[in-house]
Amino acid sequence: MKIFYSDEFLKYREAGHPEAPERLRAVVEYLKRKGIGQFEEPESCAEDLILLGHSPDLIAMVKSEQFFDPDTPCLPNIYHFAALACGAGVQAMEAALADGVSFSLARPPGHHAGRKTLGGFCYLNNMAVAALQARQLGKKVAVLDLDGHHGNGTEEILRGKEGLIYLSLHQVPAYPGTGLYSFENCYNFPLPPGTTGDKYLTALKKALEVIDKFSPEIIGVSLGLDTHEQDPLLALCLKDPDYKKIGLNLAQLNKPVFVIFEGGYHPQTIGHAFYCFWKGLTEKKVEKHD
């Protein structure tokens, strides 16, 4: 099972910003300690693939470092990091088609970046680009966004696209204020602050029924661990065992799955939470091959 990761992803930071290298390092070190996965160095995403999801103007803006967004700092070489994260997502998608399950452990995250807009700590939409590349390969794709925030960027880019559905479970009210309703090929499951594991899993099962009916050839999961009860940015109340149940439920669909890391801002807990999800998702696969 391949995990696309580079130490490059730890090399940028904005002082005091919650989207800090420590969060990714926490997950990577935890998985390495457990001896999990085959870590692969990703390659930067080619611009023609990034153009599947983004306008030339957005790419030029990130490249030239000429923008201002209060949440999404304009940092030196940020295009380099964003394009590398995007490449990790695309390569994880390709690896899942070959091997069944794969992961992209990268930053910056992507699901708030729209076709022409950056925002919410995101510059390029790693998941949307990977999903659109899977479509180019002729695959039917479902994108399940399990970050605690609504993936407004992914929804905007994938909305109305044939052979593709987008589903999101997220806290409402919260940033970015979207994801209250379902429409076209987009299915939203808003959850109130204080939502615990059992209610979350009930919503997840509804989302998985939609995916099962759609019958995709590959599933992309935007995994944010800001749904955890310890997360400082949101008020959802998932506990570690809930992540294992989420992984198990996903595995039951019996489809290739690639997982792209999004948010999660409590470095002390996200390593173990990620591991629990991994266990749930892969245990079933292991049993199946026995």
Closest distance of CB 151 from Zn ion, Å: 9
Q: Cβ of residue 224: shortest distance to Zn ion, in angstroms?
A: 4
C-alpha span between 248 and 251 (Å, rounded): 5
Q: Please, what is the minimum distance in Å from the beta carbon of residue 170 to Zn ion?
A: 8
Closer CB to Zn ion, 226 or 242, in the complex? 226
For tokens 């999404």, the residue is: 72
Q: What is the DSSP secondary-structure string of 69-117?
A: -SSS---TTHHHHHHHHHHHHHHHHHHHHHHSEEEE--SS--TT--SS-
Applying CB under 5 A, the span of 140-148, 212-220, 238-246, 277-285 interacting with Zn ion comes to 140-148
6-14, 79-87, 139-147, 181-189 -> range binding Zn ion (CB under 5 A): 139-147
For residues 149 and 245, which CB has a smaller minimum distance to Zn ion in the complex?
149
Pick the binder of Zn ion from 147, 156, 229, 231 (CB under 5 A): 147
What is the token pair recorded at 183? 């429409």
- How many angstroms separate the CA atoms of 85 and 94, rounded? 15
Stretch that binds Zn ion, among 99-107, 132-140, 145-153, 180-188 (CB under 5 A): 145-153
Task: State in angstroms the smallest separation of the CB of 175 from Zn ion.
Answer: 8
Q: In whole angstroms, what is the distance from residue 221 CA to residue 166 CA?
A: 10
Q: Of all residues in this chain, which one has the CB nearest to Zn ion in the complex?
A: 263
Residue 146 CB, shortest distance to Zn ion, in Å, is 10
**How far apart, in whole angstroms, are the C-alpha atoms of residue 3 and residue 77?**
24
- Which residue type sits at 76? P
Please name the residues in contact with 209: beta carbons below 8 A apart, sequence gap of 6 or more: none
Residue 257 in tokens? 């799955």
Q: Mark the segment that binds Zn ion (CB under 5 A) among 35-43, 239-247, 255-263, 274-282.
A: 255-263
| Residue 170 is a catalytic residue | no
Q: Cα separation of 153 and 158, whole Å?
A: 9
Task: Tell whether residue 149 is a contact of Zn ion (CB under 5 A).
Answer: yes
Nearer to Zn ion, 70 or 76 (CB): 70
Q: How much is the CA Rg of the chain, to the nearest whole Å?
A: 17
Tokens, residue 104: 């992209």
CA distance 183 to 37: 37
Pick the catalytic residue: 17, 54, 80, 112? 112
Q: Report how many residues bind Zn ion under the rule CB under 5 A.
A: 6
| Among positions 110, 179, 263, 271, the unique one binding Zn ion when judged by CB under 5 A | 263
Judged by CB, which is closer to Zn ion: 207, or 251?
A: 207
Work out how close the CB of 148 gets to Zn ion at its nearest, in angstroms, rounded to a whole number.
5
Using CB under 5 A, pick the residue from 145, 155, 226, 242 that binds Zn ion.
226
Does residue 135 touch Zn ion according to CB under 5 A?
no
224 near Zn ion (CB under 5 A): yes
CB distance 171 to 191 below 8 Å: yes
Q: Is 156 in the site for Zn ion (CB under 5 A)?
A: no
Burial of 288 (0-12, 13-18, 19+ CB in 10 A): exposed
Query: Any residues with CB less than 8 A from the CB of 98 and at least 6 apart, and which?
Result: none
Residues annotated as catalytic (active site), given as ranges: 112
Binding site for Zn ion (CB under 5 A): 147-149, 224, 226, 263
